[in-house]
Amino acid sequence: MTKAYSRFLTAVFCVFLGGLLAWHLFLPDRERSETENRLLEQTPEFSWEALTNGKFTKAVEDYFADQFPLRDQWTGLKARTEQVLGQREFHNVYLCGDTLISKVAPPEGGQLEKNLSYVSRFAVAVDVPVYLGLIPSAAEIWKEKLPDGAESWNQQSFLKEAAEIDGIAGTIDFYTPLAAHQEEPIFYRTDHHWTSLGAFYGANAVFAELGSFPLLAKEDFTPEIASEDFQGTLYSTSGVHWLAPDVIEFWVPGNDLEVTTWRSGKAEDSELYVRSYLEQKDKYSAFLGGNQPLYVIRNGNGQGKLLLIRDSYSDSLAPFLATHFQEVHLIDPRHYRLSAAQYARENGIDAVAVLYSVPNFITDKNLVFLIQ
C-alpha cells in the first residue's frame, strides 16, 4: 500500500463515520416520524440519578437512533438488501409479488380464550341480540399468495371454534364472501385493512345475518377516488418502499347522513370522511376520522339501531351499514371505558355486533371492558 492510497482509504472510512456524525449534529431534530407513526425521542435531560441507573445512556442511544439522518431511506435500503439476499419476510410482513401481507402469529397467554368468554358474558348481560363477526385478515383469505411454506396462524379453524361460543345470537360469516371474491382487491396491498370493496362484501355479510335487509348491489354506488398514493401500515413496518401505492375509494356519499363524534369526550358534529387525513401519511383515518371512543351515524331513511363494538376495520364498513340502518353506533373499547351494555339500554339499541379483525381479536386486551 502506498502512502497516498492508504491515506485515501483512511479518508473514506473517516469521512463516512465523521460525516454522518456531523450531519446528525447539524440536522434539526424531528418531533415525529410520519412513516413510523410515532413520536421520536428528543435530546435527553441529564441528571446524576439517570446517569447512575443507566437510564441516561439508554436515552442517548434511543435519541441517537431516532434522529439519525435519512432514517426512512436507511430502512428502505435494508429491506432492499434483504430482498436481494432472498428474504421474503420483513418484520413479520410477507412480500408476495406486489402485495404485502402481515403474518399472524399464534396467540399467546390465553388472550383469545379470554376474549371469547368476555363476548359470551357480554352477550348474556345485554337484553338485545348480540352477534359476533370476526373478519379474517389477508393472511387467511390470500394465503395462496404467501410464499410456499410460509407460516401464518390458521384463522379459518379459529373462526369455526368462535362460532360455537354460548350466548350470542349468531355469527356473521365474513370468511365465505371474502374467500369467494379473493381474486378482487378486497384488501390493500400496503396496509392491513380491507378496502372499500372488501368492506362492501363485509356489509352484505352483516345484512345477511341481521335479517330483514335487502343486499347492496355494486351498481348502486359510484366510487369516488379519494387518494391514489396511500402507503399504509405494512409499507411502514416492512420497510418495503418500492411497491406502487394503494388507491382509497369512498363508495357511500356522506351528504344525507348526520354524524356525531365523541372524539374529545363530548358530542360534536363531524363528517363521514375527514378529508384532511388524505393529505397525511395515515390516509385510512379519513374513514370516520380514525380512532375515537364513540361515533354515531344517523340516516333519516333507515331502520333500526345497531351498536358495533369494533376495531378500525369498521371505519370503512360503517358507511355501508348506515345506508340501511337508522342509527349505527360505534364503540371502540380501546378508548371507550364505560359500560357498553348500559349504553345499549340507554340508546334503544336493537342489535349489537362485536366486529373485529381476527389478528386484533386474538391480541386485544381491551375487550375486558365489555363485562363491566
Partner 1 sequence: MVFSSLTFLFGYLPLTLGAYFLTPLRWRNLTLLLVSLFFYGWGEPVYIGIMFLSILIDYTHGMLVERFRERRKIARWFVGQSVVFNLLLLGFFKYWDFLAANLSLLPGISVPQLGLPLPLGISFFTFQTMSYTIDVYRNDAPVQRNIVDFGAFVTLFPQLIAGPIVKYKSVAADLKKRSSTSESFAAGACRFTVGLTKKVLLANAAGSLWETCLEAHSNNALTIAGGWMGLFAFGFQIYFDFSGYSDMAIGMGQMLGFHFAENFDHPYLSTSVGEFWRRWHMSLTSWFREYLYFPLGGSRCGTARTLRNLLIVWLCTGFWHGASWNFVLWGLYFGLWLILERFVFRDLLLKTPVWLKRAYTIIVVFVGWGIFAIEDMSVCGQYLSVCFGGGPLWSAADGYHLRSSAVVLLLLILGSTTLAADLWKRLPERAAKVLTPILMFLGLTVCTAYLVDGSYNPFLYFRF
For partner 1, the binding residues (CB under 8 A) are 1, 3, 5-10, 12-14, 16-18, 20-21, 24, 51-52, 54, 57, 60-61, 64-65, 68, 71, 74-75, 77-79, 81, 84-89, 91, 106, 147-151, 239
Q: What's the min distance (Å) between Cβ of 224 and partner 1?
A: 37
* Least Å from the CB of residue 127 to partner 1: 42
Cβ of residue 140: shortest distance to partner 1, in angstroms? 17
Q: What cell numbers appear for 24 in the block? A: 446528525
Closest approach of Cβ 241 to partner 1, in Å? Answer: 12
Tell me the backbone φ, ψ of residue 237, rounded to 5 degrees. -70, -35
Question: Residue 281 CA to chain centroid, in angstroms?
Answer: 13
Q: Which is nearer to partner 1, 1 or 217 (CB)?
A: 1
Question: 74 or 114: whose CB is closer to partner 1?
Answer: 74
In whole angstroms, how close is the CB of 215 to partner 1 at the nearest point? 39
The whole-angstrom distance between residue 307's C-alpha and the CA centroid of its chain comes to 20
- If the CB atoms of residues 7 and 218 are measured against partner 1, the closer one turns out to be 7
Handedness of CA 209, 213, 219, 222 (dihedral sign): negative
CB-CB contact of 108 with 159 (8 Å): no
Return d(Cα 174, Cα 179) in angstroms, integer: 8
- Kindly provide the b/e burial profile for residues 18-42, where b requires at least 16 CB atoms within 10 angstroms of the residue's own CB: eeeeeeeeeeeeeeebebeeeebbe
48 or 222: whose CB is closer to partner 1? 48
Grid coordinates representing 186 are: 378486497
Are 102 and 192 a contacting pair, CB within 8 Å?
A: yes
Q: Pick the closer one to partner 1 by CB: 151 or 271.
A: 151
CB of 28 to partner 1, least distance (A): 17
Q: Which three cell numbers stand for residue 110?
A: 390465553
Task: Return the sign of the alpha-carbon dihedral for residues 187, 160, 155, 322.
Answer: positive
Whole-number CA gyration radius for the chain: 24
Nearer to partner 1, 57 or 176 (CB): 57
Residue 18 CB, nearest approach to partner 1 (Å): 4
Question: Closest separation between CB of residue 49 and partner 1, Å?
Answer: 11
Residue placing its CB nearer to partner 1 in the complex, 190 or 238:
238
In this structure, are residues 261 and 254 in contact, taking their beta carbons and an 8 Å threshold? Answer: no
Return the closest-CA partner of residue 271 out of 243, 252, 246, 245. 252
> Whose Cβ is closer to partner 1: residue 1's or residue 225's?
1
Pairing of strands 327-331, 99-102: unpaired
What SS3 state is found at 57?
Answer: helix
Nearest approach in angstroms of CB 233 to partner 1 is 16
DSSP one-letter code for 86: T
CA 209 – CA 211 distance, rounded (Å): 6
Q: Which is nearer to partner 1, 79 or 296 (CB)?
A: 79
